[in-house]
Amino acid sequence: MTKPGRLFRYRYLAFDIVKILTGIPTLLLFRPKVIFENDKAKKKIRGGGIIATNHKGFIDPVKIFTVICYRRIHCLARKEIYDHSALMRLILRMGQCIKVDTENPADTSYLAKIREYTQDGRLVAIYPEGHIVKDSENMLEFKLGTALLAASCKVPIIPVYIAPRKNVFHRMRAAIGEPIYAYGEDGRMLPMADLQKVTSDLTEKMLLLRELTSNK
């Protein structure tokens, strides 16, 4: 288990100021209704972890902040988004986003950053589908990387499904599942076959959470 993140850090001053100023407007805009899979899923998320969530659009990081508003969350951002403009680069840096160069597989600096953040007790949101899925209903097959990353960082995977809204007048609905672990009680990474099962379990969990958002 990683140590819990500290409440105040100077490096988060700009991030926290923006979050405070925009928190109420975004909560009013999305009016999130959060559903929990069970009592274990209701527990406050402490320490480091990887949030695995579906990916429907560029505004997803803002949505995840409203669902788990009591924690700072680092999100992944593709290099081309970082390089889009000076303003976008400033916003992403203020949000402490992690830059990913998808066109350069040799650049694994983002993996080191994820490990650093999670081991320091922070949350990192990733998208197991790999990219934005325009289809509002379907999800792509989850990649093994999520389980491998969680196992190497020795942190739990927190499944979060955010349902697409029909229009701005509807409340945003989200479901949080019970944490999934990709490492054993001794802290060792599970065998590859077990990590494949973790990936399958995560997929099934997300389908269950999607059902919960449609039934509640």
Q: What is the pLDDT of residues 99-121, one digit of tens each?
A: 888 788 788 888 999 999 999 89
Query: Which sequence spans correspond to the domains of the chain?
Result: 33-215
Give the pLDDT of residue 4: 58
Give the pLDDT of residue 7: 61
Give the pLDDT of residue 212: 94
Which CATH code for domain 33-215? 3.40.1130.10
Give me the residues of the chain with pLDDT under 70, please.
Answer: 1-9, 134-138, 216
- B/e letters for 188-204, b = 16+ CB within 10 Å, e = fewer, are ebbeeeebeebbebbbe
Reported for 16-21, long-range contacts at CB under 8 A and 24+ positions apart, including other chains, are 16/72, 18/94, 18/95, 19/65, 19/72
Question: Taking the complete model, does pTM exceed 0.85, yes or no?
Answer: yes
Give the pLDDT of residue 78: 82
Q: How far is CA 162 from the centre of its chain?
A: 11
Contact 181, 130 (CB under 8 A): no
